[in-house]
Structure 1
């Protein structure tokens, strides 16, 4: 079971790096890339909202890939603190801009019509389309709440001394509370501002066109955030493979030797390892090529998230909690926890169904290395 969970964990981490390279939104026909969104925002500002502003995604994906190759040479997770802090600040910045714009639209009286049940069958969508959209939304929420990306760090503290595991517990509470608050506010204010015609993303879906410079700033923050988030997800993969290689070939200079960089006679606080250079570069190149070849890869990622959500985010932690606290399965608390497992298992099935439907649509509508403009 440990190996199965480990495989799912690294599949999701690897898949998410590809999804971060794509960074596109497919809901409601939106097909946008953060870099390209900046150019389109400026184009719409200069030429009008109906202007045919079309740009290719591929150069920006390649540029992001080159950036990640350079940044990925940071040796290990513990040296990412500065990059991670910058990425977190950028996340707060663009989320706050989106919320501010949505709130301003609502209080100005320009909010759109909303309904309790969302888009209307027969008016906006067909019944099968709405069911599929609901299931995919469940998958999105399940994936957003999955612990796969930070499970390794949580596991690392299980046998630690109290100061470390207490700090991790406090960090988790703050992180989940903060992210949940932002998710709810973005969802509620976004729907209040745009109603049933709400774009999948307020910033790149062009729910807002002005002030264009503020939207450009928000999208630039997203770009910086993605660079840091990519590394946070990729570093556990890098470290696992490199640790295995070091144990497998302990006497190999290619695997284990570090070569300090110098400028003239001055030694820099940075070194090159040939395994790290070749392996991480290969990983980023493959992820970038897959992102360019499979424009519907986010649906594949949603399927992985749906499959892993039940066992990794709910079942495994609940079973550990019950075993640790010796909770009897037939007690009220034990039955409640097992009911939680069942409900989340059903959510996983529904989300997987929606993801499969989205993949089927993507296979019919998309071609490798081709994107809608």
Structure 2
């Protein structure tokens, strides 16, 4: 091991100063990413199903606090992203050793117990996202069915239906897709995701503008949903939950290092990434402000939890069908992309612990005419199927989109967006304890922790409240 490590170090040191044409300092193919490509990746990753709950979140906080909190999250996300970008290389921002993933950066800068905590938070977050995507896709499939039912009956049929068959259908699709090797590496997947997310987000924004024009006035109030429409207690819990929904809309820290690993140098990757983050967070914030504010202006206190389910189901039903179909297509692929790291972790851990088990390690080659043989792994088949079934079952038991989104935002915001980037930055730059800079960073971290606790409490209270009126497997909408 020592000799191999020495050879690797010599290779690394030689490549830093005299690397072959077409290769980078770590011996990998030369990276070609720019500010523009990194910005596109970030915008694609950030603008997703989280945008659908922003009108509801704005309605809980009102015209003053709503936009202010969106801006606050954008500023914190941008600032902590620049701290995280500085941790891409160890010690030296130009020639230091690269970290290829978020977890590697944590291991290199903090190590020990913190790496395990980071892993648990990451995988818990990914598990939660799978549940959130199952709920969101079922809502969209139901919206398509109901809009066509309303259109066919000209509004005479209330078109009540149960979400369970749609969740089961989504789950079956995910079981099939989860058996495709390297599904998340398919080159066209990001393009499809980007097109779909912009399609439904833009339709939501456009319909919000049209609704405001139709109403002839801007709805809403300075302080948000009024006590009377909801109780005083509900007002407090919903305001906290809104923080979680907004935090979820900005969650992309987990993949920042991977995006940074596509950038060419010089200039240093951290400088390019800081510019890309500023550009992409700026564009995203503008888009979020428009979607959240126009949705609130259109519906006021009655802003729906999912923006696209609030425009009624009769006209223009075909446009809503396109938007909801785009959500389903996006989430089918996004579910797999988010779950792949969790799948890989479990499968590698199992293979390491039971290296002699054929059930875990053996691939059965199944010939497919005209294609390469398919490698069927029984452990992968069983474990991934159980995982999808479990996320589907939990979604059926707790089909509350806003509550789950708020909880996910709370779980991921402080640890992954704030705490680890701040601590890694302090460690890498050897910032003295109790210095002014150290104190400012710790105050930021503690303030964000309090937001996370409030958002989690509000979301859990929302789930408890919804469970009082919801009967699992039987309630119809």
Normalising TM by the smaller chain, what interval?
0.7 to 0.9
Kindly state the Cα deviation for residue 204 of structure 1 after the two structures are TM-superposed: 1.7
Query: Could you tell me which of 134, 140, 158 is aligned with 1:34?
Result: 140
The CA distance in 2 between the partners of 1:6 and 1:14, in whole Å, is 12
Kindly state the Cα deviation for residue 234 of structure 1 after the two structures are TM-superposed: 0.8
Tell me, which stretches of 5 or more residues in structure 1 are unaligned?
25-31
Kindly state the Cα deviation for residue 323 of structure 1 after the two structures are TM-superposed: 2.5
The CA distance in 2 between the partners of 1:159 and 1:40, in whole Å, is 44
Normalising by structure 2, what TM-score? Answer: 0.68
Query: Could you tell me which of 133, 154, 166 is aligned with 1:60?
Result: 166
Deviations 1:39-68 (A, max 9, x none): 111222233446311122122111111111
The CA distance in 1 between the partners of 2:147 and 2:241, in whole Å, is 28
Flag the 1:296–1:88 CA change in 2: closer, same or farther, 3 A. same
- For 1:29, the equivalent position in structure 2 comes to none
Query: Could you tell me which of 119, 128, 135 is aligned with 1:22?
Result: 135
Kindly state the Cα deviation for residue 307 of structure 1 after the two structures are TM-superposed: 4.1
Superposed CA RMSD in Å reads 2.9
Alignment partner of 1:23: what SS?
helix
| Alignment size in residue pairs | 361
The CA distance in 1 between the partners of 2:348 and 2:282, in whole Å, is 34
Deviations 1:205-264 (A, max 9, x none): 335742110110100001101101111111111111111122223344433333444244
The CA distance in 2 between the partners of 1:20 and 1:48, in whole Å, is 31
The CA distance in 2 between the partners of 1:174 and 1:257, in whole Å, is 47
The CA distance in 1 between the partners of 2:467 and 2:154, in whole Å, is 33
The CA distance in 2 between the partners of 1:297 and 1:95, in whole Å, is 17
Normalising by structure 1, what TM-score? Answer: 0.85
The CA distance in 1 between the partners of 2:250 and 2:431, in whole Å, is 25
Kindly state the Cα deviation for residue 21 of structure 1 after the two structures are TM-superposed: 1.0
Query: Could you tell me which of 117, 124, 133 is aligned with 2:238?
Result: 133
The CA distance in 1 between the partners of 2:175 and 2:211, in whole Å, is 40
Deviations 1:69-93 (A, max 9, x none): 1111122365233223212211111
Query: Could you tell me which of 447, 453, 458 is aligned with 1:349?
Result: 453
Correspondence 1:55-204 to 2 at 5 A: 55-76=161-182, 79-108=185-214, 110-122=216-228, 124-147=229-252, 151=254, 153-154=255-256, 176-204=281-309
Deviations 1:299-337 (A, max 9, x none): 356445424422322122112122223334544443332
Alignment partner of 1:295: what SS?
coil
The CA distance in 1 between the partners of 2:320 and 2:156, in whole Å, is 18
The CA distance in 2 between the partners of 1:52 and 1:198, in whole Å, is 20
Q: Tell me if the contact between 2:251 and 2:409 (Cα under 8 Å) persists in the aligned partners.
A: yes
Tell me, which stretches of 5 or more residues in structure 2 are unaligned?
1-113
Alignment partner of 2:333: what SS?
helix
Flag the 1:80–1:168 CA change in 2: closer, same or farther, 3 A. farther
Which has the greater radius of gyration?
A: 2
Name which of structure 1's ranges 128-137 and 84-93 shifts more when overlaid on structure 2: 84-93
Deviations 1:284-305 (A, max 9, x none): 1121122123334863564454
